[in-house]
Structures are given as structure tokens and as C-alpha cells.
């Protein structure tokens, strides 16, 4: 249902254009959007006296190219994944962001050293969070699942599975469930045999899969009982479990970490304001504030000590982060170069696999 | 009148002496001009919103200048040499300088993406070369191969030669699961990548199935609407129109609520003990869901043309046939049915064409095997951003629909179409 809301919101944004004192930001909707509105937009609006309009899409990156090519850019800031930021930057669809203009951390560390590795990998983007794709399950229907193998084990844990409709993350998880160590996943996936192996593993659960597209869908599918296990963005499961008291649990084994980054499209109507917004939103305190609303890790090292309690005031956030030590035992970091390069090919193969 | 009868042979003139024929033509021309001015807004609207975009789309399906616009020297080299020529120093110089310029202009990603459509895994070769070629010195061949040994691969050069012309039929080939090999011959793509032909077949098969389902459901309803007393038929008509007026998304969502595994229908069946709790039927995220929801959504497009054709058929025709000894089946088949053919034709054509291009409902309730070709067009428009391939797929869809329309005209006759 939330997906429909997102769709209809996305449609109403067509033809929308921001005036001088407004800034349009497109992000991923749902509880993630809420966290950004609370931690970034409200303080920014209060401080600068501008209206920040938040828009939602299933994947904001897909809108950038269309807007730039059509010469009708109506959004100033997009929140995208790293591989998309790198790709769009190479294609000239993004403005270069001056990383030297980013504020130093609260402890005085210059921004270049304060951001964690990879957070400033693209000259057109600044990371705000570390998030991960994880497997999650409804603990009233499944008990004792604790590894990524269990997600693919229909015999021991019967029931429908939810997976994101696309090649990314699914192929890596399939390989990890098939026994490939996290460190070797992309080496294996670079070979044709590795790709075949990943699809063969996905074949074993294909008949039981419900495919989702928007990040808000997996908690909904779990809550509706449409699936008993689903891959999901970890923060969405956290928001449903801790925020709404749903009986969902996360399997950290085999998680795939990625960055979400702010980018500014070429021809953004309020480019300077957009740059100000990004510098403001990615300072140490703002990033730490965001973790008060959702369990995504801040992209600055100096934010880590500032991370405190969830907004309910009693849940410590640190153990729920994808970067917590317990979560990192078998974790994969998304290889953005691999996906910037192979995205088209593997998604074509994925679509063909899905249709046949 | 007196004038006319007095000089029948003389030229007919108006009261002010002009020839009548010319005056009439003039008056008619004025009327024509006025009529044209009246439809001009509509004409302009159609040209701007329909003809131009479709023309642009068709153009895009054979035109992609991402390579040719950004790699001018290399394109010139390809044009001046025969296919299969081994790249020489001049070729490597062109490559090195073009990639350097494209990297500075930030268009190297677009070049790489274009080549990547045809030869997967080459995109990063272009972007990484763009970073490395900024300070390259002659002799270029050695320098290029030292910086990136992958440029020695003849397949990359063959692919670049293919994508060098801005106009090509490659996207249409891709849209029917074909490709060109290194020798420029047209071959089928690997079996595990074939998808579009399957999807085209599925799209037309499902559209036909939905059309037939709509016809079977709509025919009795339309007949009832046409024959009931006005008081009742109006009420019934509102029941038909009410969903028609409701938003498409709302109707699709309602079907999701009804059909899902924990949904109304499954819950009712379980409560009645017809199926067990673990035997819940999957009616959504598959073809069944797509067919059910689309049949319901497109039903009014069948009912309304049928109704408008059935309404004026006098009931006395069937009564006359019965009184002359026809059985009720014969009377229906020989007398009633032929008179409703224009409505059947119009309704079927409408439903079929709408179903072929349907997007939002299969996207929401279709799951994996309920996807139609329109979903793949949307995928290439918004996700892979391969607009040329999306345009080629859409052009094929448009072409097939036009052929069907032409067939319909030949078989049934387009004059026999009654929309209301």
C-alpha cells in the first residue's frame, strides 16, 4: 500500500517546480524519509528560512538521468546509492561537489579524513549514511534462522520469501548462501560460472519469491503475512520492529553494506542552496541526529561518539547499526565499480531469468 | 427567378454581378477556413502531444549519437577504413585523444554506456582509461596498451565500429533477442538472455485472453442494460460506471486486498473450511492476478460499446424470428448476434489495444510471470536508461497493433465499428 502512496506522490511531483526560497530533495520515502526530515530538513529550514520539500521514489537515481536529458530538472538534491553516483558522475549528469568546502568534524578532523573510506569516493557526491541489505524474518512464523543459508533453506524454513526486484544484492547473497566467503564474492561473480552459480542458487527459491521494489514494501509484506522472510534495508526493519513493535528480526550474517549519498543534478534550479544543504546535513551532529530515527550508520567517524538513543529514549542505537561488531562477522561491502560496470548486463540476465 | 428563366444560357450571377459559381466557391472556402480554424487548436494539440513525441520515439529507436558525438576522431578512422582493419597507430591516436577529451568533458561515461549495451563489462574500461589517458605521449599505441592492456582485444574494436554510426538497427535487433557477432552477422543472443520475444508473445496472448474474458462477461450485462426498463437499467448503468470513474490505482489496490494470501477471498475460503490454512491459493503476484485485475478494469470499455449497439435493436426482430419457428439459439445466432457485431468489434479492439500497453496493474499485481512488455519498456526508460532500446520495443508494439488494426479493417471493416 505504501508503494502506491509513493507512486502517487511521485506522480504529483511531475510539473512541480521550486521557487527561490524552496529546496526540493528526493529520497527513498517511508521511515528513512522521516529520519531525514527530522534530522536535516527541519533544522535547515529553521536556520536558513527556506522550505525543504521532500519527494519520494523507489530509487531516486533513476529519475536524475531522465530529468537532465529532458532539460527539465525540478529537484535540487537526490539521495542515491554509490554505484549510481559514480555512474551518473561519469555520464556528466551531476554537479561536482567541492569536498574541501565540507565542514570539519566536531573534533576538528578535516572532512577528508573524517568521512569513512569510500564516503567521498565520487567527486560528485557526499555520503550521509551506511546502510545494509539484510535478510529479516517474522519471529512468530520462523524461529532460529540465523544465517544467510537459512534464507535459502526452504526445507527447514518453509514459506514465501521477499526479494528486491533486481540483480544487485540478490546475486551476492545467493553466492554467500552457497558458501562463498564475503571477501571472494565479487571475484566469483566476475566470472560467467559465478553468475551461473548465483542464478542457480536463486532458482532454488524462485517459486516462493514475492518481488518488492520500494524499500517500504518488505516490512509491509512481512506484516501482511505475504512472506515469512524478506531481504530489506536494515533501517526499515528496525523502524518496524522497535518503532512499531512488530515481531521482526534481522539476520546480520551475509549483510551487504552500501552508502547513500547526496548528489546535485546538472542544472539544479537552486544549485548553491543545494550545496549548502549537503554541507549542513552531512556535518557530524546532523549525521548523528539522524541515527535517532533510523538505524543507519553515520558516514563520519566523528559522529559515532554522538550516536545516542532512539527517539523513544530507551533503545541504544549502537547495537542496531550495520557497523556494530556483531553485525560485521560475515558482512560484504557493496563493490560500486563492479555494479557501475555490470549493472546493465546482470539486470538483463536477471529480467530474462525472471520472465522464463 | 424571373432572371433565371429569361436567360438560361447566360452565366448565372449573383445580385452584384459576380458569377454564381465563383461566389459559391468563395463562400464555401470561407466556411472551410472557419472550420479549419475551429479544429486548428485540436490539430496543433495532436501534433504537439502525439505526432511529435511518437516521431521522436521512433527516431530514437534507430538513432543514438552517444558514441559518434563524443568520439569524432575515432569515428572518422572507422569511416576511412574497411571493417576488420587491425587498429594502427592512427587508430590508437584517435582513441587516446577522443577518450581524453571525453573525460575532460565528462561524457566518457556516456560513451562507455553506449558500448556497454553491446559488449557488457566494457564500461569501466572507458571510465578508467579516461582517468589514465590525461597525460599520454606518442607513440600512442604503446602508451595506450601499457596503460590499459584490454584495448588489444579485437572484439572491443569490432563493437566500437558497430556503434560508431549514430544510425543503426542494433536496437531493433536487441528488441527481438538478436545481436551482431564480430563478423557483423545477425545471430540470436544466448538462450539465458532471450526475453523480449517471450514477453511479446505473452503480452499478446494475455491481451487476447483478457479481451475474450471481457467479452464473455460484458455481453450478458450489456444485453440486460439494453433490455431492462429504463428505471432499472439506469441503476445498473451506474454500477457499471462507478468503478469506471474510480481511480485505476484504487481499483488495483482493492484487488490486492482481495486476492492476497492473507486477503479477503482466502480468509473467507479458510473460514468456510473449503481450503486449509496452509492451502491458501496464490492469486496475486502471478498471471492469474494480472488477468483478474485487468479484466475487471477494462470491462466497462467492452460493456459501453456493446450497450450502445444493443440499445437500438428492436426486440421485435427476435420475436419475429421466434414466431417464424426459429429456436431461441437460432434467433440469437442468426438475428441478434449479427446486429451486435459492430459493438463486439469496437469493444474488443478497445480492450485489446488498452491491454497490450497496460503498465501499472501488471507492475503491481503481476509478480514475476505476470509482467508484460510494457514493464520492460518502463525498465529501460527509468532503470537501465537505454532509451533507444525502450523506443525500439515500443515501436514494435505500435507496429504490431497497427497491423492488427489493418487486419481488422480487412476482415470486419473499420466502418463496422461503433463506439457509441
Q: Which residues of A touch B384 (CB under 8 A)?
A: 343-344, 347-348
Backbone phi, psi, residue A87, to 5°: -65, -50
Question: Which residues on chain B place their C-beta less than 8 Å from a C-beta of chain A?
Answer: 105-110, 112-113, 116-117, 120-121, 123-124, 127, 130, 192-195, 198-199, 202, 249, 253, 256, 260-262, 285, 360, 364, 367-369, 371, 376, 379, 381-387
A351 vs chain B: nearest CA distance in angstroms?
Answer: 7
User: Which whole number is the average pLDDT over B151-170?
Assistant: 89
Q: Does the model's ipTM exceed the 0.90 cut?
A: no
Kindly state the DSSP code that residue A39 receives in the 8-state scheme. I
Do the beta carbons of residue B380 and residue B387 sit within 8 Å? yes
Closest CA to A222 of A197, A247, A188: A247
A223 to chain B: nearest residue by CA? B262
Task: Identify from B103, B289, B383, B384 which residue to disrupt to test chain A contact, counting A C-beta atoms within 10 A and taking the largest count.
Answer: B383
Residue B4 above 70 pLDDT? no
pLDDT, residue B120, reads: 76
- And the C-alpha cell for A313? 529514549
Closest by Cα among A246, A300, A159, A178 to B280: A159
Cβ within 8 Å, pair A62-B383 = yes
Is B199's CB within 8 Å of A355's CB? yes
Question: Of A174-183, B296-305, B405-414, where does mean pLDDT reach its minimum?
Answer: B405-414
Residue carrying C-alpha cell 529537484? A75
Q: Which of A315-319, B41-45, B362-366 has the highest mean pLDDT?
A: B41-45
- Give me the pLDDT at residue B9, please: 55
- B113 contacts A344? CB cut-off 8 A: yes
* Selection from B249, B258, B196 nearest residue B360 by Cα: B249
**Contact check, Cβ <8 Å, A66/B382:** yes
pLDDT of residue B419: 59
pLDDT exceeds cutoff 80 at A5: no
Cβ(A13)–Cβ(A55) under 8 Å?
A: yes
Chain B: closest CA distance from residue A196 (Å): 10
**pLDDT averaged over every residue in chain B:** 87
Omega of the bond leading into B414 within 30 degrees of 0 (cis): no
Lowest mean per-residue pLDDT among A185-194, A291-300, B261-270, B275-284: B275-284
Min distance A336 CA to chain B CA atoms (Å): 11
Q: Does A355 touch chain B (CB under 8 A)?
A: yes
> Is a pLDDT exceeding 50 seen at residue A17?
no
**Span A31-76, pLDDT tens digits:** 899 999 999 999 999 998 899 999 998 889 888 988 888 888 999 9
Q: Shortest Cα distance from B384 to chain A (angstroms)?
A: 6
Q: Mind telling me how many Å the CA of B124 is from chain A's nearest CA?
A: 5
Yes or no, beta carbons of B384 and A354 under 8 Å apart: no
Instruction: Please check the confidence at residue B134 and state whether its pLDDT lies above 90.
Output: no
Task: Quote the percentage of chain A above a pLDDT of 70.
Answer: 94
Helix (H) or strand (E) segment spanning residue A162: strand A161-164
Selected for mutation to probe chain A from B99, B106, B285, B386 (highest A CB count within 10 Å) is B106
Q: Can you tell me the mean pLDDT for B291-314?
A: 91
Nearest to B109 among A1, A91, A355 (CB): A91
Query: Under an 8 A CB cutoff, do A210 and B285 touch?
Result: yes
Per-residue pLDDT reduced to its tens digit, B381-393: 877 778 899 999 9
Nearest to B332 by CA among B349, B347, B313: B313
By the 8 A CB rule, do A6 and A214 touch? Answer: yes
Pull the grid cell for residue A274.
543545494
pLDDT at B262 over 70: yes
* DSSP character string of B334-375: IIIHHHHHHHHHHHHHHHHHHHHT--HHHHHH-TTTT--HHH
Please check the confidence at residue A10 and state whether its pLDDT lies above 60. no
The verdict on a CB contact (< 8 Å) between B116 and A345 is yes
Closest-CA residue of B relative to A226 is B261
Question: Who among B109, B249, B369 is closest to A8 (CB)?
Answer: B249
pLDDT, position B396: 93
Q: Which residues of B touch A340 (CB under 8 A)?
A: 123-124, 127
Contact call for B262 and A340, based on CB within 8 A: no
Bridge partner list, A265: A94
Q: At what angle do helices B196-227 and A336-355 cross, to 10 degrees?
A: 50
Beta-strand ranges (E) seen in B123-224 are: 178-180, 186-188
Whether the CB of A309 is below 8 Å from some CB of chain B: the reply is no
Residue of A nearest to B255 (CA): A1
- The C-alpha cell at B8 is 438560361
Distance from CA of A266 to the nearest CA of B (A): 12
pLDDT at residue A16 greater than cutoff 80: no
Average pLDDT over residues A16-26: 70
Q: Please say whether the beta carbons of B175 and B57 come within 8 A.
A: no
Rg from Cα positions in chain B: 32
* Number of C-beta neighbours around residue B348 at 10 A: 22
How many angstroms separate the CA of residue A213 from the nearest CA in chain B? Answer: 10
Is the minimum CB–CB distance between A353 and chain B shorter than 8 Å? yes
* CB contact at 8 A, B335 and B321: yes
pLDDT-wise least confident of B3-12, B202-211, B333-342: B3-12
The closest alpha carbon to A64, from A82, A88, A83, belongs to A88
Give the chain B residue whose CA is nearest to the CA of A222.
Answer: B262
Of the candidates B147, B202, B231, the one whose C-alpha atom is nearest the C-alpha of residue B369 is B202
CA distance A292 to chain B (A): 32
Tell if the CB–CB gap between B195 and A351 is shorter than 8 Å: yes
List the end-to-end C-alpha distance of chain A, in Å, as a whole number.
Answer: 28
Region B73-95: what's the mean pLDDT? 89
Of all residues in chain A, the percent with pLDDT exceeding 90 is: 51
State the DSSP H helix or E strand holding residue A125, giving kind and residue range, or none if neither. Answer: strand A125-138
pLDDT band at B42 (very low <50, low <70, confident <90, very high): very high
**pLDDT value at A30 more than 80:** yes
Q: Which of B63, B113, B360 to mutate to test the interface with A (most CBs of A within 10 A)?
A: B113
**Using a CB-CB distance cutoff of 8 angstroms, which residues of chain B are in contact with residue A353?**
192
- Residue A13 pLDDT: 47
The C-alpha cell 468489434 sits at: B345
pLDDT surpasses 90 at A313? no
pLDDT at B306: 92
Contact B261 A225 (CB under 8 A): yes
- Do residues B338 and B322 make contact, with C-beta atoms less than 8 angstroms apart? no
State the pLDDT confidence band at A14, using cuts at 50, 70 and 90. very low
> With an 8 Å Cβ cutoff, are B124 and A337 in contact?
yes
Q: What digits encode the pLDDT tens for the residues A155-166?
A: 999 999 999 999
For B179-183, the CB contacts below 8 A with 24+ separation are B179/B118, B182/B154, B182/B155, B182/B158
CB within 8 Å: A355 and B369: yes
* Residues B169, A325 contacting (CB under 8 angstroms): no
**Alpha carbon of A84: minimum distance to chain B alpha carbons (Å):** 10
Winning range, highest mean pLDDT, from A286-300, B201-215, B339-353: B201-215
- Cα torsion A123, A125, A129, A134: sign: negative
**Exposure pattern of B27-43 as b/e (b: 16+ CB <10 Å)?**
eeeeeeeeeeeeeeeee
The burial class, CB within 10 Å (0-12 / 13-18 / 19+), for A342 is buried
Chain A nearest CA to B49, separation (Å): 15
pLDDT of B420: 54
pLDDT of B417: 64
Question: pLDDT (tens digit, 9 = 90+) per residue, A231-290?
Answer: 999 999 999 998 889 999 999 999 999 999 999 999 999 999 999 999 999 999 999 999
Tell me, letter by letter, the H, E, C secondary structure of B119-140.
Answer: CCCCHHHHHHHHHHHHHCCCCH
pLDDT given at position B121: 75
- Write out chain A residues lying below 8 Å of B198, CB-based: 355-356
Containing H/E element for B52? helix B52-62
The pLDDT assigned to A19 comes to: 44
* Residues A68/A265, Cβ–Cβ less than 8 Å: yes
Amino acid at each position: 500500500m505504501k508503494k502506491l502512496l509513493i507512486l502517487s506522490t511521485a506522480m504529483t511531483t511531475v510539473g512541480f517546480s521550486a521557487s527561490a526560497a524552496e529546496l526540493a530533495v528526493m529520497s527513498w520515502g517511508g521511515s528513512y524519509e522521516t529520519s531525514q526530515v527530522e534530522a536535516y530538513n527541519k533544522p535547515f529550514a529553521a536556520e536558513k528560512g527556506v522550505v525543504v520539500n521532500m519527494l519520494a521514489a523507489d530509487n531516486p537515481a533513476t529519475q536524475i538521468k531522465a530529468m537532465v536529458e529532458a532539460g527539465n530538472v525540478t529537484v535540487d538534491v537526490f539521495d542515491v546509492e554509490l554505484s549510481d553516483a559514480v555512474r551518473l558522475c561519469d555520464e556528466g549528469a551531476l554537479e561536482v561537489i567541492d569536498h574541501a568546502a565540507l565542514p570539519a568534524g566536531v573534533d576538528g578532523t578535516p572532512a577528508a579524513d573524517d568521512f569513512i573510506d569510500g564516503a567521498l569516493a565520487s567527486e560528485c557526491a557526499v555520503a550521509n549514511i551506511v546502510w545494509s541489505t539484510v535478510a529479516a524474518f517474522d519471529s512468530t512464523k520462523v524461529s532460529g534462522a540465523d544465517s544467510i543459508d537459512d534464507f535459502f533453506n526452504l526445507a527447514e524454513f518453509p514459506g514465501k520469501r521477499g526479494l528486491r526486484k533486481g540483480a544487485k544484492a540478490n546475486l551476492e547473497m545467493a553466492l554467500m548462501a552457497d558458501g562463498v566467503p564475503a571477501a571472494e564474492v565479487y571475484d566469483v561473480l566476475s566470472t560467467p560460472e559465478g553468475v551461473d552459480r548465483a542464478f542457480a542458487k536463486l532458482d532454488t527459491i524462485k517459486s516462493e519469491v514475492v518481488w518488492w521494489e520500494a524499500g517500504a514494501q518488505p516490512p509491509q509484506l512481512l506484516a501482511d503475512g505475504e512472506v515469512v522472510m524478506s531481504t530489506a534495508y536494515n533501517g526499515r526493519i528496525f523502524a518496524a520492529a522497535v518503532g512499531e513493535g512488530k515481531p521482526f528480526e534481522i539476520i546480520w550474517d551475509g549483510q551487504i553494506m552500501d552508502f547513500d549519498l547526496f548528489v546535485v543534478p546538472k542544472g539544479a534550479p537552486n544549485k548553491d542552496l543545494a550545496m549548502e544543504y549537503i554541507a549542513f546535513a552531512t556535518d557530524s551532529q546532523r549525521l548523528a541526529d539522524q541515527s535517532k530515527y533510523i538505524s543507519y550508520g553515520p558516514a563520519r567517524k566523528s559522529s559515532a561518539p554522538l550516536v545516542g538513543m532512539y527517539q523513544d529514549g530507551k533503545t541504544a542505537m549502537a547495537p542496531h547499526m550495520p557497523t556494530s561488531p556483531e553485525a560485521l562477522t560475515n558482512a560484504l561491502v557493496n563493490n560500486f565499480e563492479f555494479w557501475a560496470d555490470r549493472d546493465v548486463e546482470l539486470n538483463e540476465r536477471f529480467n530474462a531469468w525472471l520472465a522464463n | 427567378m424571373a432572371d433565371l428563366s429569361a436567360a438560361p444560357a447566360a452565366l448565372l450571377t449573383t445580385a452584384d454581378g459576380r458569377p454564381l459559381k465563383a461566389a459559391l466557391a468563395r463562400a464555401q472556402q470561407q466556411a472551410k477556413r472557419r472550420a479549419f480554424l475551429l479544429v486548428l487548436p485540436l490539430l496543433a494539440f495532436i501534433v504537439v502531444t502525439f505526432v511529435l513525441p511518437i516521431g521522436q520515439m521512433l527516431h530514437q529507436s534507430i538513432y543514438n549519437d552517444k558514441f559518434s558525438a563524443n568520439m569524432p576522431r575515432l569515428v572518422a578512422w572507422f569511416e576511412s577504413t574497411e571493417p576488420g582493419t587491425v587498429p594502427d597507430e592512427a587508430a590508437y591516436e584517435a582513441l587516446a585523444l577522443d577518450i581524453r577529451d571525453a573525460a575532460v568533458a565528462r561524457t566518457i561515461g556516456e560513451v562507455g554506456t553506449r558500448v556497454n549495451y553491446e559488449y557488457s563489462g566494457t564500461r569501466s574500461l572507458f571510465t578508467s582509461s579516461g582517468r589514465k589517458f590525461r597525460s599520454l605521449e606518442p607513440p600512442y599505441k604503446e602508451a595506450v596498451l601499457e596503460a590499459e592492456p584490454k584495448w588489444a582485444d579485437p572484439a572491443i574494436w569490432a563493437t566500437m565500429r558497430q556503434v560508431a554510426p549514430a544510425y543503426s538497427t542494433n536496437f531493433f535487433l536487441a528488441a527481438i533477442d538478436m545481436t551482431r557477432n564480430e563478423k557483423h552477422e545477425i545471430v540470436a543472443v544466448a538462450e539465458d538472455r532471450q526475453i523480449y520475444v517471450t514477453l511479446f508473445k505473452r503480452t499478446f496472448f494475455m491481451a487476447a485472453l483478457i479481451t475474450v474474458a471481457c467479452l464473455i462477461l460484458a455481453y450478458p450485462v450489456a444485453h440486460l442494460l439494453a433490455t431492462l426498463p429504463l428505471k432499472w437499467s439506469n441503476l445498473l448503468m451506474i454500477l457499471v460506471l462507478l468503478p469506471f470513474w474510480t481511480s485505476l490505482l484504487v481499483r488495483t489496490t482493492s484487488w490486492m486486498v482481495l486476492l492476497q494470501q492473507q486477503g479477503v477471498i482466502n480468509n473467507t475460503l479458510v473460514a468456510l473450511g473449503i481450503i486449509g490454512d496452509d492451502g491458501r491459493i496464490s492469486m496475486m503476484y502471478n498471471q492469474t492476478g494480472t488477468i483478474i485485475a485487468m479484466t475487471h478494469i477494462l470491462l466497462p470499455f467492452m460493456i459501453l460499446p456493446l450497450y450502445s449497439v444493443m440499445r437500438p435493436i428492436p426486440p421485435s426482430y427476435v420475436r419475429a424470428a421466434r414466431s417464424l419457428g426459429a429456436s431461441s439459439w437460432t434467433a440469437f445466432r442468426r438475428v441478434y448476434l449479427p446486429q451486435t457485431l459492430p459493438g463486439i468489434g469496437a469493444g474488443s479492439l478497445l480492450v485489446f489495444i488498452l491491454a497490450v500497453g497496460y503498465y501499472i496493474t501488471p507492475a503491481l499485481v503481476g509478480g514475476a510471470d505476470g509482467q508484460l512488455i510494457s514493464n520492460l519498456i518502463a525498465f529501460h526508460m527509468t532503470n537501465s536508461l537505454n532509451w533507444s532500446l525502450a523506443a525500439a520495443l515500443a515501436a514494435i508494439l505500435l507496429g504490431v497493433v497497427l497491423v492488427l488494426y489493418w487486419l481488422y479493417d480487412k476482415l470486419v471493416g473499420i466502418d463496422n465499428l461503433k463506439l457509441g
